[in-house]
Structure 1
Amino acid sequence: MTPPTSSARSTLPQLLLLLSATTGLVDAASVLGLGKVFTANMTGNVVFLGFAAAGTPGFKVLPAVLALLAFMVGAWGAGGLARRHVDRTLRRWLIWAAVIEAGLLWIAAAISTRIDVAAQAPELAVLSVIVLTGFAMGLRNATVRSLKVPDLTTTVLTLTITGIAADMTGRVSPNFARRLGAVLSIFLGAALGATLLLHVGLAVPLILAGAMVLGATLLFARDPASAVPHRV
């Protein structure tokens, strides 16, 4: 889509920072609760898949493959959703994406109440949650990618951290605060997700992530900037 104008981005970075925090929540749930698999960060997942392929104890091929495939299908679905909302408002498109993502996370949370985290059983429930959260995060990642907001992908930090380090060698970029905010958002989300999982249960980080996704998007929808037409 054509990126929103600078005025149209008045609250969009704040929305994306909140979504970044939910990435930490989801990956805390997946890595700590679903058996060493990322469902938001696919770079880490490919690394885990390599460990599993080498026969490293504690890493499995099937969960990583399912997460990757679900993520890709979710990203593909996001493309179709975006095309169906061409010439409609940015608000309408993002709300639809948020409703789908939150719904998938909440269904995953409901299923996760049946999971014994220590035993990683029943296996079907574990794999179902991996697929649902992977699909949700693929949908989100592709949607955010279409927004083309620099340094706020909500799921990937490698280039963001590179930018922070590069800024330290000379004049600070105007995006420095945004980059630092993205890193802190995912860090805080991961810390909160881990705490909730350890002390309350696997479902809670997923419930909270879904609520934050939908709530933050609805807040952005109140901004007049969200009424701009969606363009591919």
Structure 2
Amino acid sequence: MPPAPSSPSPLPGLLLLLSVTTGLVDAVSVLGLGKVFTANMTGNVVFLGFAAAQTPGFSVAPYMVALLTFFIGALIAGRVGQRFAKRPLRQWLTVAALTEAALLWIAAIVALRFDVPTLRPTVALFAIIALTAIAMGFRNATIRQLKVPDLTTTVLTLTVTGIAADSSMAGGANPNLARRVGAILAIFAGAAAGALMVMRMGLALPLLASGVIILLGTLLCVRHPAATLPHGA
């Protein structure tokens, strides 16, 4: 008798939910921290180039802080992934969610005393950049190790490319189309919601909401039977 088919992995659903939080965090960093990305480093490298050319409105320090702290978060997540790769997936996901949520909630507390129009106090500005970049670096490295196709939760360039290049118009079979479109819509929805929160209520609420979504989504995910096994088992 053939084995019963295994139930679908809970990871795609979780990663789509995490993509929403990317939009929230980007809304905080771009709209509230002076045009700096803490979830996606491509923009920071471009902006750093602008700053190096002494373009008005761009300063080296915020982008360097974001890049360095993102690197630190990714480095830590790489070590965590090595430690938890052979353990039940639920342990790995829970540690990652608690880490991200804690960092974002601390950033939310710092944001309560931060003035967006003046970007003051400066120490709070750099603290929020660092805390959110560490969280997103940790996220990116974790997702990279999980290797779920077409769901990076933070980057959409290859997603949009895949939709076009693999489409029936290009002679392809539209693989993972729903997942790819879902990723775009998730980040769009998070960015729109985050922008409304930032403009009307400041930075603390979207950061708080991001941590809640990450933690609750992960707690639901780890209840799935597949989460009792090591990833890929």
Shift in CA distance, 93/8, structure 1 to aligned 2, threshold 3 Å: farther
The residue that corresponds to 1:216 in the other structure is 217
Gaps of 5+ in 2: none
SS of the aligned residue for 2:202 comes to coil
TM-score computed with the length of structure 2 as normaliser: 0.94
User: Rg bigger for which structure?
Assistant: 2
Are 1:87 and 1:229, in contact at CA under 8 Å, matched by a contact in 2? yes
- Cα deviation, residue 96, structure 1: 0.4
Q: Distance in 2 between matches of 1:130 and 1:69?
A: 11
SS of the aligned residue for 2:56 comes to coil
Which is further off, 76-85 or 103-112?
76-85
Are 1:72 and 1:138, in contact at CA under 8 Å, matched by a contact in 2? yes
The residue that corresponds to 2:99 in the other structure is 100
Gaps of 5+ in 1: 1-5
Q: Distance in 2 between matches of 1:8 and 1:137?
A: 29
Are 1:101 and 1:210, in contact at CA under 8 Å, matched by a contact in 2? yes
Q: Distance in 1 between matches of 2:17 and 2:198?
A: 19
Any idea what the Cα deviations from partners look like across 1:55-79, whole Å, max 9, x if unmatched?
1111111000000000010000001
SS of the aligned residue for 1:117 comes to coil
Number of residue pairs the alignment of both structures matches = 227
The residue that corresponds to 2:151 in the other structure is 152
Are 1:87 and 1:231, in contact at CA under 8 Å, matched by a contact in 2? no
Q: Distance in 2 between matches of 1:80 and 1:213?
A: 21
- Tell me the amino acid that sits aligned with residue 162 of structure 1: T
Q: Distance in 2 between matches of 1:62 and 1:31?
A: 15
- Cα deviation, residue 129, structure 1: 0.4
The residue that corresponds to 1:82 in the other structure is 81
Q: Distance in 2 between matches of 1:11 and 1:93?
A: 14
Provide the identity percentage: 61
TM-score computed with the length of structure 1 as normaliser: 0.94
Show structure 1 runs of 4+ deviating over 4 A. 6-9
- Tell me the amino acid that sits aligned with residue 208 of structure 1: A
Are 1:24 and 1:191, in contact at CA under 8 Å, matched by a contact in 2? yes
Are 2:70 and 2:136, in contact at CA under 8 Å, matched by a contact in 1? yes
Any idea what the Cα deviations from partners look like across 1:141-197, whole Å, max 9, x if unmatched?
000011111110001111100011111423442301111111111111011100000
- Tell me the amino acid that sits aligned with residue 221 of structure 1: V
- Cα deviation, residue 82, structure 1: 1.3
Are 1:85 and 1:230, in contact at CA under 8 Å, matched by a contact in 2? no
- Cα deviation, residue 119, structure 1: 0.3
The residue that corresponds to 2:199 in the other structure is 198
The residue that corresponds to 1:116 in the other structure is 115
- Tell me the amino acid that sits aligned with residue 53 of structure 2: A
Which is further off, 6-15 or 189-198?
6-15
The residue that corresponds to 1:228 in the other structure is 229
Are 2:90 and 2:222, in contact at CA under 8 Å, matched by a contact in 1? yes
